[in-house]
Structure 1
Amino acid sequence: MAPKIFLTGATGYIGGDALYSLVKAHPDYEYTLLVRNEERGKPVAAAYPNARLVYGSLDDVDVIEKEAAAADIVIHTADSADNIPSAKAIAKGLAAGHTAEKPGYWIHLCGTGILTWYDAAHERYGQAPIPEQKYHDIDDVERIVSLPDTAIHRDVDKVVLGANDSPAVRTLIVGPPTIYGRGRGPTNQRSIQVPGIVDFTLKNGFAPIQAPGLTEWDNVHIHDLGDFFVLAVDAALDPAKSRNPEIFGPRAYFFLENGTHRWSDVSKWVAAEAAKQGLIPEPIAKEIDIPRLGTNSKSVAARAGKYLGWAAKSPSLKETIPDVVASEAKKLGKT
């Protein structure tokens, strides 16, 4: 029988690209997709006529439990990092529908926003990262799975990690950093962070920098993230990998990255490109109070390469800036 996959977030940026990547790699698998309602599901059904759609919100725990129990693999991307009811429902459903001999696998999307906790707690916005803020996803895994409860996403992470207490459940958490590039899903193909800077720049005539402009994040292209989901699913179906606690289990925390950027540099790139495209008068970036650009997220992605053979192949963040600027300008009716 074909493997059964239950995926949330098919209409989203990440979930849409994950679904695209999976169907391209494995068109014969059985896909069940949670969407909010029939209207939201129309473009998904049109793009994937062989998929089965089920309707409900992330608070419809009975629906989620039932589908998790029936699936071989659950891929959770819809507000997955912050929604407690859906996480608890997946954990409960997987435990009820599987056994130690035939466990259910949970591929859970978090994000490296969880690593910004130190700057947020100490209000050190705009400052350069300190050495303790770098987290290696193999060497520092014990630090990662025991971050402070005050860290963003930590409450949901604890639900996911705790699901491994059942011998019938095995989890993998993937934490991408800044995600960039045009997605390939049926609905939302736009990321958040870089387009947000472009949107601000085009509306205000300058790009924003949180003073003193020294904060750093890592980044990964959406297509490389899509590739990771395929590798993770393949691992769940491979007995040599699915039983490896470094791939599925309470230590299975995967970061992904294709490069590092300072947010101040991104803003300067955006300002330069917006001026080049004639969208603002001059390539100006100004220091303002904008805390969302003021924290550090520093991850070292070693686990995906070592255990799954993942490698980033897509263009760099800087190379995609012209396309983002042009897309946001069109969205705002400036071209």
Structure 2
Amino acid sequence: MQSPTAATTTSPRSPSVFLTGVTGFVGGTILASLCKVHSQIRIKALVRRETDAKELQSVYSNLTPIIGDLSSLSLLTSQAAEVDLVVHAGGDNVPAVCAMIDGLASQNSTGSPLPRLISLTGPRSLIDLSLPITGNLREGSRPWSDVADAKAILAVPEDRMHAGADQAIIAHSVAKGVGTMLLSPGQLWGRGKGHIKKESGAGLYYATVKSRGRAFVLGEGTATWSWVSIGDLGDAVVFLIEQATMSGNTRSRHVGVNQDGYYFVRTGDLSMMERAKAITARLSLGDVESVSVQVAKEIHPFGPIMWGCGERTRADKLAELGWKPKEADWQALMEEEGGERA
């Protein structure tokens, strides 16, 4: 399987891949990105409905749908046992991911764990909700590096969002001798590249602003999230698949797994106020409004976290491997193909 960024002397073998979440915004983009770059790769994908399976097969000739869901643990184990690499984009589901790790572990392997599983997660595990939500960038806070802060990232309290799942998946991977990579994007911008679901939850803020007639922030709106385009996320997954399946010296550098396998995916940083000003200009609205945590909660139960918190990340691991994002204009991505995102 030839990497588009690899030297011409590199000849990595063509792997077989098992994907989950392919009818979703993220998983669908990963499937489309992989097939675009490697049209001959053998792909199996978990699909719940026959109608979706037939539709995806009509688009991706190299796709073999596997009918089932994430509760079909024995099916997940058996399918993972037959492929070189698994990509899970189906959310925090520890039993499902552990079942696939069991399948990968059933294959003969020796030495240090090879990279075999990519599981999508997120940086909300970094949010300390014991602190008050203010909508402002915390004084003295700094970006998290997936190199310098690697141990700390996987040692946050397990009751935080994503954290318990991340830690359980890594622990099971270590116990089974399977190399797992956790891929953690921040905010996702742009239109999905998949065939079925093309929009994320980013339309909620846009719709809320339109209904209220004014853009809003919590506090001063300086709370900041790192972001990446959905297309670049798909590209990053393909890049890691390529790096993981290269043999021996053909890998560009060491691909970290398990305790060394947490990867941020990031292009830039974006504050809530910047978002609010962008949609204000786009819709020709009045001044941005500052609302309380209670008002944000009344709009949506998760509103205070979505609009009042933030964490900045640095994708140092991917940079060391040689990957770079391509889409740097967040405002263009918000408006891509007339999308109602903000």
TM-score (norm 1): 0.87
Q: C-alpha displacement at 1:167, in angstroms?
A: 5.9
Structure 2 residue matching 1:122: 3-state secondary structure: coil
Out of 320, 325, 329, the residue aligned to residue 312 of structure 1 is 325
Q: Is the 8 A contact 1:103 1:167 kept in 2?
A: no
Decide whether aligned partners of structure 1 residues 76 and 48 sit closer, same or farther in structure 2, where only a CA change above 3 A counts: same
Q: Which residue of 2 aligns with 1:31?
A: 43
Q: Which residue of 1 aligns with 2:242?
A: 234
What 5-or-longer segments of structure 1 have no aligned partner? Answer: 276-281, 330-335
SS of residue matched to 1:220: strand
Partner of 2:26, secondary structure, is helix
Give RMSD over aligned pairs.
2.2
Rounded Cα–Cα distance in structure 1 between residues aligned with 2:256 and 2:218: 37
Deviation at 1:219, TM superposition (A): 0.6
* Residue 101 of structure 2 is aligned to residue 91 of structure 1: yes
Q: CA deviation at 1:133?
A: 5.2
- Measure, in 1, the Cα distance between the counterparts of 2:222 and 2:191: 27
**Partner AA of 2:125 in structure 1:** I
Q: Percent identity?
A: 25
Distance 2:70 2:287 in 1: 42
Partner SS for 2:51: helix
1:232/1:100 Cα in 2 relative to 1: closer, same or farther (>3 Å)? same
Pair 1:69–1:242, CA change in 2 (3 A): farther
* 1:114 aligned residue: 125
Q: Give matches, 1:1-335, under 5 Å.
A: 2-79=14-91, 82-100=92-110, 105-116=116-127, 118=128, 120-132=129-141, 134-166=143-175, 168-193=177-202, 195-238=203-246, 239-240=248-249, 246-275=255-284, 282-288=285-291, 289=293, 290=296, 291=304, 292-307=306-321, 309-323=322-336, 326-328=338-340
Secondary structure, aligned partner of 1:97: coil
Query: Residue 172 of structure 1 contacts residue 249 of structure 1 at CA under 8 Å; is this kept in 2?
Result: yes
Q: Is the 8 A contact 1:104 1:170 kept in 2?
A: yes
For residues 54 and 80 of structure 2, the distance between their equivalents in structure 1, rounded to whole angstroms, comes to 23
Worse-matched range after superposition: 236-245 or 46-55: 236-245
Per-residue CA deviation, residues 174-211 of structure 1 (Å, 9 max, x unaligned), is 10000101111011111223x22111112222223122
Give unmatched runs, 5+ long, in structure 2. Answer: 1-12, 297-303
| TM-score normalised by length of structure 2 | 0.86
Q: 1:265-286 CA deviation, whole Å, 9 max, x = no partner?
A: 20221121022xxxxxx34432
**CA distance in 2: counterparts of 1:187 and 1:296, whole angstroms:** 29
- Greater displacement, 218-227 / 101-110: 101-110
Equivalents in 1 of 2:141, 2:281: separation in Å?
33
Corresponding residue SS for 1:182 = coil
Q: State the Cα deviation string for residues 24-67 of structure 1 (Å, max 9, x = none).
A: 11111110000112123232122113210011121111111111
Report what 1:332 is aligned to: none
- The answer as to whether partners of 2:268 and 2:328 remain within 8 angstroms in 1 is no
